[in-house]
């Protein structure tokens, strides 16, 4: 309570000190939607050094709908990413598949630190497989698993470069045909298809220009259940975009994911691609 009281008092002091120099804000909706399409191909003909033909494609749709008013800010964002790759005569395999939505409602009490409520959802579009010499095995599908998180707490934001929030949270994992290892508790005889966890959540966003035509977007999500504060789930997504022309970008995506229930080792995904980018809104 003392820490919370100190934060509120400090924010009130900052609000009083800087309110005279602040520019008049522009209220209302600010919408943005960007579509990226990337494609690569490698064709060999009488190539004596060996190798196989290959191709890969990926499309990403990122959208933001923000309603900024004098007393509140309602920020909504969504991401859909999907792509496949094929090597030689093998069947195409899914390389990227993600649907993520987020909604954050912030009540403006102070200049930088304010209370919020938030909800997020995460799943995929199509069935996912693991591959071995014996063939392929289905391991996931649309809303199987699906992750939904609700949180309430306090957030900090100064400008559009950096913002962070932390609060109490509830996280639900739902499954259908693939309860293990996402929702099922291996220590019980019953097969659970739904898992509910209560704990604390922290989300930090960073958007910064590294150069005139190079930008970095980073999002770090942390969740710790009350049953094990020493076990923190990590979802860290980073995207570096270099703008070559108005419609052509080079993108490097680095994603780190850790959830002890799924794997004792961190999971990493990297993607380097060049493609077309078009602003829809």
**CA-CA distance, 258 to 130, in Å (whole number)?**
19
pLDDT range class, residue 9, cuts 50, 70, 90: very low
Q: Burial level of 220, CB count in 10 A (0-12/13-18/19+)?
A: middle
Q: What does pLDDT average to over the chain?
A: 90
**pLDDT score at 23:** 59
- Ordered by start, the domain boundaries in the chain are 27-44+52-279
The yes-or-no verdict on residue 241 having pLDDT over 80 is: yes
Q: Which residue has the tokens 């033909």?
A: 53
**pLDDT score at 159:** 84
**pLDDT score at 20:** 45
Give the number of other CB atoms < 10 A from CB of residue 146: 19
Top CATH class, 27-44+52-279: mainly beta
pLDDT range class, residue 52, cuts 50, 70, 90: very high
pLDDT tens by residue, 180-239: 999 999 999 999 999 999 999 999 999 999 999 999 999 999 999 997 777 899 999 999
237, 267 Cβ separation under 8 angstroms:
no
The yes-or-no verdict on residue 130 having pLDDT over 50 is: yes
Q: Burial level of 89, CB count in 10 A (0-12/13-18/19+)?
A: exposed
Report the pLDDT averaged over residues 152-167: 94
Prediction pTM value? 0.87
Percent of the chain scoring above 90 in pLDDT: 78
**CA-CA distance, 188 to 135, in Å (whole number)?**
30
């Amino acid at each position: 309570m003392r820490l919370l009281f100190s934060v509120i008092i400090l924010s009130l002091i900052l609000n009083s000190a800087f309110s005279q120099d602040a520019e008049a804000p522009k209220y209302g909706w600010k919408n943005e939607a960007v579509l990226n399409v990337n494609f690569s191909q490698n064709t060999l003909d009488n190539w004596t050094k060996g190798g196989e033909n290959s191709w890969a494609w990926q499309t990403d749709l990122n959208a933001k709908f923000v309603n900024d008013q004098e007393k509140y800010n309602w920020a909504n964002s969504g991401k859909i990413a999907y792509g496949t790759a094929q090597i030689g005569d093998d069947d195409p395999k899914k390389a990227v598949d993600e649907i993520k939505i987020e909604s954050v409602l912030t009540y403006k009490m102070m200049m930088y630190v304010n209370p919020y409520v938030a909800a997020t959802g995460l799943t995929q579009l199509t069935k996912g497989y693991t591959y071995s010499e014996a063939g392929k095995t289905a391991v996931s599908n649309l809303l199987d698993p699906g992750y939904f998180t609700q949180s309430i707490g306090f957030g900090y934001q100064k400008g559009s470069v950096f913002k962070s929030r932390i609060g109490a949270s509830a996280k639900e994992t739902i499954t259908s045909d693939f309860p293990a290892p996402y929702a099922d508790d291996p220590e019980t005889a019953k097969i659970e298809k739904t898992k509910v966890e209560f704990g604390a959540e922290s989300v930090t966003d960073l958007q910064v220009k590294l150069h005139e035509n190079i930008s970095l977007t980073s999002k770090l999500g942390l969740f710790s259940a009350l049953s094990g504060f020493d076990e923190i789930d990590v979802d860290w997504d980073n995207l570096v975009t270099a703008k070559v022309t108005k419609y052509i970008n080079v993108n490097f995506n680095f994603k780190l994911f850790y959830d002890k229930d799924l794997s004792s080792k961190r999971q990493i995904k990297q993607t380097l691609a060049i493609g077309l980018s078009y602003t829809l809104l």
